[in-house]
């Protein structure tokens, strides 16, 4: 049996900042639960590319943090082949991600690096930058 999204992300070893954000936003139980969810997961280097102090600031603002984390979450299973064919995907945060394909798949301008990491309750797609909703 495949592990849930949280355990799968933890096993990846390169999503530790996202996991901390998920935990501080109070979403760990949700993403370990039934789902299904699709997570567009910025790797640790993507968080490191934010301006100095941005991650600590974000982690210290629960409402903003929850908005940013849920902007990376799409209800249901959205495999990469479907991401490549769609123009939009609704997020749990309430806004819509822009999807595009030009030889590479992009999610709100972030490049898809690793796709279709299976979890018992969804999928994880690793992306190269942190996505920010308009309403933060």
Which range marks the domain in which residue 99 is found? Answer: 5-127
SS (H, E, C) the chain: CCCCHHHHHHHHCCCHHHHHHHHHCCCHHHHHCCCCEEEEEECHHHHHCCCCCHHHHHHCCHHHHHHHHHHCEEECCCCHHHHHHCCEEECCCCCEEEEEECCCEEECCEEEEEEEEEECCEEEEEECCCCCCCCC
pLDDT given at position 72 = 97
Does 77 map to a domain? yes
Give the mean model confidence (pLDDT) for residues 74-80: 97
Look over the chain and give the mean of its residue pLDDT values, rounded to a whole number.
94
Q: How many domains does the chain divide into? A: 1
CATH number of the structural domain spanning residue 41: 2.30.180.10
pLDDT given at position 2 = 81
pLDDT in tens, 80-93: 999 999 999 999 99
Does 134 map to a domain? no
């Amino acid at each position: 049996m495949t592990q849930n999204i949280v355990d799968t992300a933890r096993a990846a070893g390169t999503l530790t900042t996202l996991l901390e954000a998920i935990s501080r936003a109070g979403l760990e139980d949700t993403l370990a639960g039934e789902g299904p969810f699709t997570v567009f997961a910025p790797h640790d280097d993507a968080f490191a590319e934010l301006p100095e102090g941005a991650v600590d600031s974000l982690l210290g603002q629960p409402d903003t943090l929850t908005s940013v984390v849920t902007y990376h979450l799409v209800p249901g299973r959205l495999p990469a082949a479907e991401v490549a064919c769609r123009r939009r995907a609704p997020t749990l945060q309430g806004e819509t991600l822009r999807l595009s394909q030009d030889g590479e798949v992009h999610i709100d301008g972030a490049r898809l690096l690793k796709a279709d990491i299976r979890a018992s309750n969804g999928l994880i797609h690793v992306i190269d930058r942190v996505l920010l909703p308009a309403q933060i």
